[in-house]
Structure 1
Amino acid sequence: MGKVFIVYIMASMKGGTLYTGVTGNPAGRIWQHKTHADPKSFTARYKVERLVWYEVHETAMSAIQREKRIKDWQRGWKVQLIAERNPTWRDLSHELGP
């Protein structure tokens, strides 16, 4: 398999603030969120550090299209998407490697 792209949702806590993103460097991008690499970013300001959902895509185009669709969703739909795979909202970042 070549490069992978993920669409992901991060949360501050169960039921907390949500952030939806897309990346071709999953481990690196999640690390940036967790360490507040940009202290002025949305995720740093709202302490959004927990990866609660992600979806793997083979192309950047499909990942970006999916991210845009999810960003247009109502919050309740995003919460349902998370709950279907991760009902306890545990941090899934360990699944993406170091």
Structure 2
Amino acid sequence: MSKSFYIYILTNFNRTTLYIGVTNTLVRRLREHISQENTQSFTVKYNIKYCVYYELFTDIRIAIAREKEIKKWHRIRKIKLIESRNINWKTFAYNSLLLQSFDYQTRE
């Protein structure tokens, strides 16, 4: 059984700030962001807890490289990426069944 790794993009309610992260357990990581337990974190400071984009990988090195690539982009390019798969900025809940319902390609 291969492992799964994710890059994801979160935003706040007004979509003024974007946060890009990488994880091996997307559902757990989204719960952590939503619970806002780490009061000193960037995501808590800017109330970033809405997942609007993610990609699935089977190789952590490729996932990390993709995260770094996207982080270097200007905001408009990040928005175009989000809207290429999520035109209405629909929020992905942390419920694993809901996450599985979106047809995202696995990147090797």
Q: TM-score, normalised by structure 1?
A: 0.91
Measure, in 2, the Cα distance between the counterparts of 1:57 and 1:4.
Answer: 6
Spell out, residue by residue over 1:29-59, the C-alpha distance to the aligned partner (whole angstroms, 9 max, x if none): 1111011021110101111010000000001
Question: Identity over the aligned pairs, expressed in percent?
Answer: 37
In structure 2, list runs of 5 or more residues that go unmatched: 101-108
The answer as to 2:58 corresponding to 1:58 is yes
CA contact (8 A) 1:23 1:29 kept: yes
In structure 1, list runs of 5 or more residues that go unmatched: none
Return structure 1 stretches of 4+ with deviation > 3 angstroms: 94-97
CA contact (8 A) 1:26 1:96 kept: no
The aligned runs of 1:1-98 (5 Å cut-off) are 1-13=1-13, 15-93=15-93, 94=95, 95-96=98-99
Q: Over the residues paired in the alignment, what is the CA RMSD in angstroms?
A: 1.4
Measure, in 2, the Cα distance between the counterparts of 1:65 and 1:26.
Answer: 17
